[in-house]
Amino acid sequence: MGKNLVQKIFESHLVNGRLDPQEDIAISIDQTLTQDATGTMTYLQFEALEIPRVKTRLSVSYVDHNMLQTSFENADDHRFLQTFAAKYGILFSRPGNGICHQVHLERFAKPGETLLGSDSHTPNAGAMGMIAIGAGGLDVAIAMGGGPYYLKMPEIVLVKLKGRPHPWVSSKDILLELLRRLTVKGGVGKIFEFGGSGARTLSVPERATIANLGAELGATTTIFPSDEKTHEFLKAQEREKDWISLQPDSDAEYHQVVEIDLRELEPLIAQPSSPDRVTTVTEAAGREVKQVCIGSCNNSSYLDLMSVARILKGKKIHPEVSLTITPGSKQVFEMIARNGALGDLISSGARILESACGPCIGMGLAPPSGAISIRTMNRNFPGRSGTPEDQVYLASPYVAAACALEGSITDPRTLGPKPPPVPMPKKFLIDDSLILPPSSTPEKVAIERGPNIKPLPIRGPLEDSIEGSVILKVGDHITTDHILPAGARVLPLRSNIPAISKHLFERLDPEFFKKAKELGGGFVVGGENYGQGSSREHAALAPMYLGIKAILAKSYARIHRSNLINFGILPLVFESSDEYLRIEQGDQLRITNLRIGLQEGGLLRIENLTQQRPFEVFHGLNSREKEILLAGGLLNYTRNHAKS
Ligand code: MIC
Ligand code: SF4
């Protein structure tokens, strides 16, 4: 039987297990990436492992999220990250060099390799024919120490693209179409492998838009073959030597095949406040727009910004619209500056932001109250932009440019028969001077730690009996932005768990912190796909710090479930939706004989002391996960193993 692309790369990296769906496997990791908002904690954890130098082939530390320096915290974190990277053998991409996923694609992603990143959009690099997975910072720390990455072997879905899209339909619309069909949990436990004649015609940056947005399906990752288009891109990045051809066998098998006929697609748009609330732009047309933000790790490439610049050239944006442009990297920024396109954007009335995550993570540019903001980004979770009750729509750069000109949701096909052509450059501008190599005399490097960098909280082994009340009960699709918001106010506290924990669940219950403190911890109850979205392990670390012992939910998002286990919090699953309905906020729960109960079967018995009745929950933990929980988290588990 022939092999698909995923099987080929997994096979060459397999450390443990069999490549059958649902089997527990471990794969070796060639490359890691971190960004500053997750990086400080990742490196504090790496430090706790007491390993003198990273063991990966390549590890890169990026600074792109916490760029507003309204006080000392972010600047101090940058110094910590820079000195840490120098000492431990990590490349340091300085602030200003660009967004981790865009820079990694340009300079480091390599066909056939594996990448683990402490950011959920790490699959962006799947555009280069590599297995790139987003994970919690502790998993990345372990990988930097030479450990494998553990996961359940996902099902592999072939997404077969047929034909060529009509003018003004872009690669963004391909993934929006998949989100429309499959929803934000349609990819859980799956890897999407793209193929077919329609995939062959897409350039690497177009593929990256798709692979990046695959994270919103809840997928483990997304991958494209490495072919002539990959070769063309790597050559233009002066990295031809990194190219290999990587294709599935002609008789490769898949668990599922999804076909998209690109000729049937039209420009699409995701409505507030979920990436899967997709409709056609025609359907939404006419709604008044007050803000347009072009950029983020989705759609900030040279090709994207050149398209926007060509559309806006010689025109002025609508007087009611504020338009922002964030180039994805220094390479993109400098190229559009040197070729004059930046001048066209400025002349149209655009506000040019530095090359960073910016508005995508609420680092400024919150939209006006009640106003529609059109963004080329990947997430429109409620309140993420910084404005309560925000109205954020997600769409392609073509749609965004049309909206900026017209002041309302506008189908770009009204702008003319075809978008202005933008050819792929034969050669990108290469200047890696903002990527600092590690020190050759690491023993001389002192790590700088500002006052905001607090020691890592660690819990002891799992208790045998836990009791407490349900401090909060929430519904389906609670994102990590609900659990622990990002934005300019909270992000600077990422290296300070005592301070950041004050913001836990604040959007859902402003009293949560106070209650958890008074009660000394307890339980949280959630619905489907609990913990959807980002990889931020702070959404597990802060609950652990406040004494949350278990979450009870209908189902979990992949990365968040691992993060809970990594920090010793039980991710329990309701046996039936009835149980979810019966349990109430404020109920007092007790689990006894937990240590033996965990080891014995798949179910745990919980006493609801308030309602005076027992009920059962499912834990679905494999033997390694049980051991991690019994040890009180992955760090304790790893240290115990290192000693034995
Ligand atoms: C996001 O897009 O939500 C983030 C901010 O990049 C997160 C990481 C973080 O919270 O630091 C992600 O996607 O993992
Ligand atoms: Fe940054 Fe936004 Fe991409 Fe997250 S989704 S890495 S915040 S640009």
> Are 415 and 399 in contact, with CB atoms under 8 Å apart?
no
Determine the atom of ligand 2 nearest the C-alpha atom of 100: 6
Would you kindly state where each structural domain of the chain is located, as residue ranges? 270-415, 466-643
384 lines ligand 2 (CB under 6 A): no
Integer angstrom CA distances of residue 551 from 142, 285, 360, 473, 623: 25, 42, 28, 10, 19
Which pLDDT value is given to residue 363? 95
- How far does residue 133's CA lie from ligand 2's centre (Å)? 15
For the segment 325-353, the average pLDDT, to the nearest whole number, is 98
For the segment 314-332, the average pLDDT, to the nearest whole number, is 98
- How far does residue 465's CA lie from ligand 1's centre (Å)? 34
Which pLDDT value is given to residue 630? 97
Q: Say whether 466-643 and 270-415 share the same fold.
A: no
Question: Nearest ligand, CA of residue 377?
Answer: 2
The topology (CATH level 3) of 270-415 is: Aconitase; domain 3 (3.30.499)
- How far does residue 632's CA lie from ligand 2's centre (Å)? 31
User: What distance in Å separates the CA atoms of residue 549 and residue 570, rounded to the nearest whole number?
Assistant: 6
Residue nearest to atom 7 of ligand 2 (CA): 361
Which pLDDT value is given to residue 600? 87
Does the domain made of 466-643 have the CATH classification 3.20.19.10? yes
What is the three-state SS of 559-574? HHHHHHHHCCCEEEEE
Per-chain mean pLDDT for the chain: 97
- Alpha-carbon Rg of the chain, whole angstroms? 24
For the segment 72-82, the average pLDDT, to the nearest whole number, is 97
Integer angstrom CA distances of residue 394 from 98, 236, 258, 294: 21, 30, 23, 10
Residue nearest to atom 1 of ligand 2 (CA): 357
> Are 81 and 47 in contact, with CB atoms under 8 Å apart?
no
Determine the atom of ligand 1 nearest the C-alpha atom of 494: 11
What's the CA dihedral at 17, 22, 24, 30 to 10 degrees? Answer: 80
Determine the atom of ligand 2 nearest the C-alpha atom of 64: 1
> Are 211 and 6 in contact, with CB atoms under 8 Å apart?
no
> Residue type for 85, please?
A
Which pLDDT value is given to residue 602? 87
Confidence of residue 643 (pLDDT cuts 50, 70, 90): confident
Look at phi and psi of residue 563 and say left if phi exceeds 0, alpha if psi is from -120 to 50, else beta. Answer: alpha
DSSP state of 112: T
In the chain, the percentage of residues whose pLDDT exceeds 70 is 100
Name 14's bridge partners. 27
- How far does residue 486's CA lie from ligand 1's centre (Å)? 8
Which pLDDT value is given to residue 233? 98
User: What distance in Å separates the CA atoms of residue 136 and residue 187, rounded to the nearest whole number?
Assistant: 19
- How far does residue 534's CA lie from ligand 1's centre (Å)? 4
356 lines ligand 2 (CB under 6 A): no
Residue from 90, 91, 95 nearest 79 by CA: 95
DSSP string of 417-434, one letter each residue: SSPPP-PPPSSPPP--TT
296 lines ligand 2 (CB under 6 A): yes
Which pLDDT value is given to residue 642? 83
In this structure, what token pair is assigned to residue 197?
A: 């004649």
For the segment 88-108, the average pLDDT, to the nearest whole number, is 99
Look at phi and psi of residue 374 and say left if phi exceeds 0, alpha if psi is from -120 to 50, else beta. Answer: beta
Pairing of strands 603-608, 588-591: antiparallel
* Best of 535, 558, 560 for a ligand 1 pocket test (most atoms within 8 Å of beta carbon): 535
For the segment 432-436, the average pLDDT, to the nearest whole number, is 98
> Are 31 and 108 in contact, with CB atoms under 8 Å apart?
yes
Name 479's bridge partners. 532
Residue 251 backbone dihedrals phi, psi, to 5 degrees: -105, 25
In this structure, what token pair is assigned to residue 448?
A: 């700088």
> Residue type for 556, please?
Y
* Best of 66, 119, 484 for a ligand 1 pocket test (most atoms within 8 Å of beta carbon): 119
Distance, C-alpha 45 to centroid of its chain: 20
Name 532's bridge partners. 479
pLDDT at 173 over 80: yes
Return the SS3 of 191.
strand
Question: What does the angle CA 426 – CA 431 – CA 433 come to, to the nearest 5 degrees?
Answer: 170
Question: Nearest ligand, CA of residue 490?
Answer: 1
361 lines ligand 1 (CB under 6 A): yes
